[in-house]
Amino acid sequence: HLSLLRLLEFLLYFYFLLDFSTSLISIANPNMNRNGGLKSFSINMSPPSKAIVYERHGSPDSVTRVVELPPVEVRENDVCVRMIAAPINPSDINQIEGVYPVRPSLPAIGGQEGVGQVYTVGSRVKFLSPGDWVIPSPLSSGTWQTYVVKEEGAWHKIDKMCPIEYAATITVNPLTALRMLEDFVDLNSGDSVVQNGATSMVGQCIIQLARLRGISSINIIRDRAGSDDAKEKLKALGADKVFSESQLNVKNFKSLLGNSPEPILGFNCVGGNVASLVVKTLREGGTMVTYGAMSKKPITMSTTSFIFKDLSLRGFWLQRWMSLDKVKECRKMIDYLIG
């Protein structure tokens, strides 16, 4: 359902390919024979692996390193997966820096999502077979390594026809967009939403999902070089209106909206004064959902708008939603987004 652009503002990709790596940090496969095939290992052991590890919190440039890991036992309910690709999300960086609310114990392997191919399975595994493509679902730490061993229940099988870059990034940003569209306001065809940070991956997903449902979108982007090109790309995805921050920061901003209905739902991932641009476009009784703070500044909004428009301010964090025993629903959404 989503035709995601490769313009992913905050995402970089690693590729753990059989013969080479196109990642920022090169990870060679240690298990290749001279003919390009995989060396033989015990069915009960994973191949040795390489991983991006950090033993303390700090800047990723200074605290991460590539290490070689020994083979791991593949127990009867385990699945060994050879990772194909994994993204670098802002939350991954925040975990390494030690500022994210959820952090794995140290030492830790980076990464929370990605796509891989089943290498071998334990004797009691029922639903996965070597060669299947899988993603960790729900999110699981440690995807920045060449081989990952986890219980069968930690993996979700997907269609091999899904493009690698889509499969590797389906779990965090597209799910965030889908949940925010469904969980806060009962939206109907003909309604309108507004968002800042529209060029982000979540923003692009919101545009496309809204379009599929007959919901128009008003999108706010930063003032910077290339903003005209960014506007055209967002419109190609289905955006109805795209404005720079300075365009909306005027008294007669409503005249810019034309015949677009006043939005009942808004999304804020920037914070600071830019959040007020979302607030002032909302209609009476509207809701603004905050899911990010890229400016690292507190939300600023008009007291007048808050009082006289009876607005609601909400927050959304995907990991909290996933912690509410949402595995089946999460996987159903992934299949919907990929399909």
pLDDT per residue as tens digits for the range 163-216: 999 999 999 999 999 999 999 999 999 999 999 999 999 999 999 999 999 999
Q: How many domains does the chain have?
A: 2
At residue 10, the pLDDT reads 33
At residue 159, the pLDDT reads 95
> Is 120 found in the same domain as 205?
no
> Is 219 found in the same domain as 116?
no
Domain range for 160 is 12-170
Q: Give a yes or no: residue 42 inside a domain.
A: yes
Using the predicted structure, report yes or no on whether residue 279 has a pLDDT greater than 60: yes
At residue 41, the pLDDT reads 53
Please report, rounded to a whole number, the percentage of residues in the chain having pLDDT higher than 70: 86
Q: Give a yes or no: residue 337 inside a domain.
A: no
**Between residues 38 and 195, the one the model is more confident about:** 195
Omega of the bond leading into 90 within 30 degrees of 0 (cis): no
**Secondary structure class of 55 (helix, strand, coil):** coil
Q: Using an 8 Å Cβ cutoff, are 203 and 195 in contact? A: yes
Q: Give the angle 160-162-168 at the CA atoms, nearest 5°.
A: 100
Rounded to a whole number of angstroms, the CA Rg of the chain reads: 22
Using the predicted structure, report yes or no on whether residue 106 has a pLDDT greater than 70: yes
Using the predicted structure, report yes or no on whether residue 290 has a pLDDT greater than 60: yes
> Is 113 found in the same domain as 73?
yes
At residue 3, the pLDDT reads 41
Q: Give a yes or no: residue 216 inside a domain.
A: yes
> Is 300 found in the same domain as 190?
yes
Distance, CA of 336 to CA of 339 (rounded, Å): 5
Chosen domain end from 117, 145, 170 = 170
Q: Using an 8 Å Cβ cutoff, are 301 and 275 in contact? A: yes
Average pLDDT over residues 43-70: 94
Exposure string for 95-118, b = 16+ CB within 10 A, e = fewer: bbeeebeeeeeeebbbbbbbbbeb
At residue 40, the pLDDT reads 52
CATH code, domain with 101: 3.90.180.10
Q: Given the residues 13, 54, 100, 336, select the one marked as catalytic.
A: 100
Q: Give a yes or no: residue 331 inside a domain.
A: no
Q: Using an 8 Å Cβ cutoff, are 93 and 147 in contact? A: no
Burial of 260 (0-12, 13-18, 19+ CB in 10 A): middle
At residue 224, the pLDDT reads 85
Confidence tier at 18 by pLDDT (50, 70, 90)? very low
Distance, CA of 53 to CA of 51 (rounded, Å): 6
Using the predicted structure, report yes or no on whether residue 27 has a pLDDT greater than 70: no
Q: Give a yes or no: residue 26 inside a domain.
A: yes
Amino acid of residue 78? D
At residue 95, the pLDDT reads 94
> Is 166 found in the same domain as 17?
yes
Concerning whether 13 is annotated as a catalytic residue, the answer is: no
> Is 72 found in the same domain as 47?
yes
> Is 254 found in the same domain as 119?
no
Using the predicted structure, report yes or no on whether residue 75 has a pLDDT greater than 70: yes
At residue 103, the pLDDT reads 87
Average pLDDT over residues 52-77: 96
**Between residues 185 and 323, the one the model is more confident about:** 185
Tens of pLDDT, residue by residue over 202-239, are: 999 999 999 999 999 999 998 888 888 999 999 999 99
Confidence tier at 59 by pLDDT (50, 70, 90)? very high
Amino acid of residue 191? D
Using the predicted structure, report yes or no on whether residue 130 has a pLDDT greater than 90: yes
Strand partners, 73: 45
> Is 164 found in the same domain as 58?
yes
Using the predicted structure, report yes or no on whether residue 35 has a pLDDT greater than 50: no
- Shortest CA distance to 330 belongs to which of 210, 184, 195, 154? 154
The secondary structure of 146-189, three-state, reads CEEEEEHHHEEEECCCCCHHHHHCCCCHHHHHHHHHHHCCCCCC
Q: Give a yes or no: residue 278 inside a domain.
A: yes
Cβ neighbours, 10 Å, residue 329 = 14
Distance, CA of 148 to CA of 306 (rounded, Å): 48
Confidence tier at 39 by pLDDT (50, 70, 90)? low
98 phi and psi angles, rounded to 5 deg:
85, 20
At residue 296, the pLDDT reads 83
Q: Give a yes or no: residue 304 inside a domain.
A: yes
> Is 212 found in the same domain as 123?
no
Chosen domain end from 137, 170, 203 = 170
Average pLDDT over residues 134-153: 93
Q: Using an 8 Å Cβ cutoff, are 88 and 12 in contact? A: yes
**Between residues 45 and 3, the one the model is more confident about:** 45
| Backbone φ/ψ region at 333: left (φ over 0), alpha (ψ -120 to 50), beta | alpha
> Is 39 found in the same domain as 88?
yes
Average pLDDT over residues 288-302: 88
Q: Give a yes or no: residue 55 inside a domain.
A: yes
**Between residues 78 and 322, the one the model is more confident about:** 78
At residue 20, the pLDDT reads 32
> Is 219 found in the same domain as 154?
no
Average pLDDT over residues 126-144: 93
> Is 278 found in the same domain as 151?
no
Mean per-residue pLDDT over the chain, rounded: 86
- Shortest CA distance to 192 belongs to which of 178, 174, 206? 206
